[in-house]
Structure formats: structure tokens, C-alpha cells
Structure 1
Amino acid sequence: MRSCWLASFADVPDPACELVCFPYAGGSGSVFRGWQRHTRSLRVTAACLPGREVRLSEPAIPDIDRLTTALLTAVTPLTGRRYAFFGHSMGALVAFELTRRIRDAGLPLPAGLFVAGLEAPHLVRFDPAHDLPRDELVAWLHQGQGLDAEVLAYPELIDLMLPTIRADLAVVENYRFRPLPPLPVPVHVLHGRDDDVDVAASGAWAELTSEECRVTTFDGGHFFVREHEGRIVRLIEDALTTTTPARETGDIGGIER
């Protein structure tokens, strides 16, 4: 039986790899629902975090250590077969720290770590926003953090989700990097050309792995993943189902358009 922390969107017989996806701050697992239609060899699984969707009645967890402790229990059964992680923004940080916990537990590591919309964790610096007054926080979210204009017409919905958004923002804003040996896991960084995250900070993920690290740049801003869903899934599928050569660092590749 699956944990309440994980949900898959289709039954994929004998997948080449299970791809576990972690959402951005305020996001939910359903943002990955469409990914399965772009791949036949991967099983796409989303992390179902407290404070949203079917777990709306549960308080969101504002601390990355507590969050990854709970997730470690949930993903442990997956480590008996081939799996990989994808994370966007906050989700990239969660995927990284969860991989470290898996190593600490002596469990088999993911076949790959795919991260989007986040500087390398040792460079992460966020201006505090999680404790802003309500109206200031809503304005900040609307100005480029994924809050669509039409949602502003539903203040009750905003107020319902703000506690979860605040908790998620606290996860990244209060994060403190711990120097540890590099992970023996290949890292593929996905970068939006117009994102505030610059390409040099994206390339610095290479310092956190002893394996291959590549950076692929897409057109778009922080939420470029929405615009390039199919291409991103195919990129991940190719990386997980083909053999790659020795380590490459800072490969800034464009995606075929």
C-alpha cells in the first residue's frame, strides 16, 4: 500500500524508473498530473505534502528537517528498485536534503537528481517573506511568485492557502546549508533563462555531486516548467534510460524548439 505522502497518476507496468516529484512552495502534487502522458517508461509519482489537496486539514510543515524525516519513511520502500527525484524551487531543496538523508540511512540512492528554479543549496539566500502581513504577502506572490491574477478574485481561497504558503516559504527562508561530502548522484539542473536564479548559481550544483552535473537552459521565468512540460519529461526520460559519458560540468544546453 502506498503512503499518504506519495501518489502516482497511472499504472506503469515494470517502469524503467520511478520519478518522484516535489512541488514549489505553495504547490501541490497535482501540478505533475500531466507528466505521465509524456512518458511510457517512467512512473511519475508526486509527493503529497500536508496542507494541500487531500491533506488540506493537516498543518503544513515549516521545517525542512521535520519534512525530510517524514518523507524518508515514505520513500524508503522505493529504494528497493530504481528511482529518481525531481524538484522545483522549494521542491529542489527538499529533494536534495532528502537524498542526503537517504545516504545517511545507508539506503540505495536515486539514479538521478533533477532540480529546477533554485540556486545550489550552499548559495541559497532568500529575503524573508513568510511572515509578511497578509496583503503584502499576497502582493508579493502576485508579482512573480506564481499567484495568478484570477485567484485574487477569491480572497477566501487565498486565506485558505496562506498558512501553507507561509510554512513552505519558511522551509527555504530558514534553511541552513550543512557542508557534507558531495553526493554520488548525477545532477541535472533545469534553468529558466529569465529566472532570478542566475546560471552561475545553477551551475554551482556541480560542487555538491561527485558525478555528472549538467545545466540545461529553457526560455521562461521561474515557472518555465509549466511551459515546457513535455520537453522536460522527455529530457528526464532520456537521462534515466540511456547511458551517459563521464562527468560534464556546466553544460549549458538549449532545448530544441
Structure 2
Amino acid sequence: MTTPSPSAPTLLCVPHAAGVARAFTGLGQALAPHARTVALELPGHGTRMREPVRDDFAGVLEDLVRATGAHTARPYVLLGHSMGAAFAYELARHWSALGRPPRAVLLVGRNGPTARSLLPDLHGLPDDAFLDGVRRLGGTPPQLFDHPELVALFTPVLRADFTLSETYAPLPGPPLACPLWVSAGTDDPMVDDAGLRDWENHADGDVHVEWLPGGHFLLDDPAFQGYVAGVLRRLPQPVV
């Protein structure tokens, strides 16, 4: 496995709704020459599944602040996928306010905070309707829905994450000054061009919008991995 150079930034990754840190394993391997990839695990997910799941945005953000603090002392980049894009954006604002901004933020598969929603909200629906909506969105292993014990285990996690994602509104404070790299798959039903460009309303720096082949779940797609590698290569070297 290729070892990143000493000057390579740390790539801090926040997953999608009901996603886990290991979702970034393939991306981390593909980016090994360009970054040290650190995938963040949310409470109640993956390796932290014994912890209570949370549906309060401020509380989850505080958890992520604690998890990322040690990584912000050296050059770093934030990447958030879908729900994770909202957290990546707010993490960047938090650390920027403390004088430790990221070199860039990559926002994947999510419209800007003030864009119109393309799909109806699911988080407040009864369980059957909620799970049917989740199933139709894709991304959740279909066999999960065939096992009542798994459905009972994961429904609270899914509902909490959809609550976080669907009720998010930007926190008070200035927009970001660091570059934003916004991307999505051309077949992603959850985004549109106007929505992606809405991120321009929440940035004081450059905003780059890129459409890539694929759908909503594209972390393992070679085109997406090549795109992220290209962004990392284009970042200016930090001044020592």
C-alpha cells in the first residue's frame, strides 16, 4: 500500500445517513498517495453501534468536533457525503472560526442548505411508509428489509439520520472562505444543478461544481475517486 508523503493533508470524511466509517475504505486506498484518510464514525453507527444514536444536529456536531480536533493542527481537508456534507460544512465553519480552517471542503451528493427539496421528507412518517421511502431511495441492502430483527435494529438509526439530514439549517455565523468543491452523480435523484449551486450562497471563497457519472452512492466509483485525487493534487502547498 502506498504511503502518503509527509506533506499530504489529512482527509476527514463524514458518511451519509445510516452510513459507517468503513464506507470510505476503498476511497482511502485509492487516495493513499495523496492524503491520509480518516473516516469518522457517528454515535450509534458501525464500531460505535452500542452507543445511543442521536438525532440532534448540535450534539452530533459536538461529537465530530471532539473527533476531529487533533487532526486540525496540520493541513486537512473535509469531505462529506449526502447527510455528511452538512456536517462537513459546519465542521469547517467551526474550525475556521477558531483559526484552523481546512484547505478545502468537498461536498458530495447534497444540495445547498437553502435549495428547494426535490423529494418529500421521510423522517416523520410512520415506520412502514418511512421504510418504503428509504427502500425506494436505494443504497440500503435490500436483504435488510427481509429480516424483521434487522429492521427493528436499524430503523431508529435510519430515522435519526433522516431527521438530522432533513431538518438541517445552517447554524449562525459567516459563510466559509475556504474553497468548496461540490459534486454529484448525474443520475442522483436527490440533487439538481440549481441546488448544487446554492452552496455559492454559503461561501465567501471559490465554489467548484462538478457532475460525475453515477448515482447517489458513488464513493467506490473510479470516476469519483479520480475526481477527489485531482482536487487534492490541485490544492496549493501549505506555506511552511
* TM category, shorter: 0.7 to 0.9
- CA shift, 1:54, in A, is 1.6
**Is the alpha carbon distance of 1:169 and 1:243 closer, same or farther for their aligned partners in structure 2, counting shifts above 3 Å?**
closer
- Hey, what's the Cα distance between the residues in 2 that align with 1:49 and 1:243? 28
Residues 231/113 of structure 1: CA separation in 2 closer, same or farther (3 Å cut) = same
* Aligned: 1:117 with 2:99: no
- Shift of the 10–137 alpha-carbon distance from structure 1 to 2, 3 Å rule, reads farther
Match of 2:209 in 1: 215
Provide, for residues 90-144 of structure 1, a one-character-per-residue CA deviation record: whole Å limited to 9, x for no partner: 000111111112123x131111100111111122646332232222222111111
Q: Which amino acid aligns with 1:101?
A: H
Query: 2:185 and 2:45 mapped to 1: Cα distance?
Result: 26
- 1:240 aligned residue: 232
Letter in 2 for 1:208: H
CA contact (8 A) 1:59 1:164 kept: no
For 1:30, the aligned partner's letter is R
The equivalent residue for 1:19 is 11
- Distance in 2 between the 1:78 and 1:88 partners? 19
Name stretches of at least 5 consecutive residues in structure 2 with no aligned partner: none
Partner of 1:250: none
Same amino acid, percent of matched pairs? 30
Give the drift of 1:184: 1.1
Gaps of 5+ in 1: 1-8, 245-257
RMSD across aligned positions (CA): 2.2
The corresponding residue for 2:150 is: 157
Distance (Å, rounded) in 2 between the aligned partners of 1:241 and 1:201: 27
Provide the TM-score with structure 2 as the length reference: 0.88
Q: In 1, distance between residues paired with 2:37 and 2:150?
A: 28
The equivalent residue for 1:92 is 85
1:247 equivalent in structure 2: none
Using the TM superposition, give the Cα deviation of residue 208 of structure 1 relative to its aligned residue in structure 2, in angstroms.
Answer: 1.7
Q: Specify which of 139, 155, 164 is matched with residue 171 of structure 1.
A: 164
TM-score of the superposed pair, with normalisation by structure 1: 0.83
Letter in 2 for 1:216: E
CA drift at 1:158 = 2.1
Post-superposition shift, 1:88?
0.8
**1:149 counterpart letter in structure 2:** P
Of 62, 76, 79 in structure 2, the residue corresponding to residue 83 of structure 1 is 76
Give the match for residue 59 of structure 1: 52
Alignment length, in residue pairs?
233
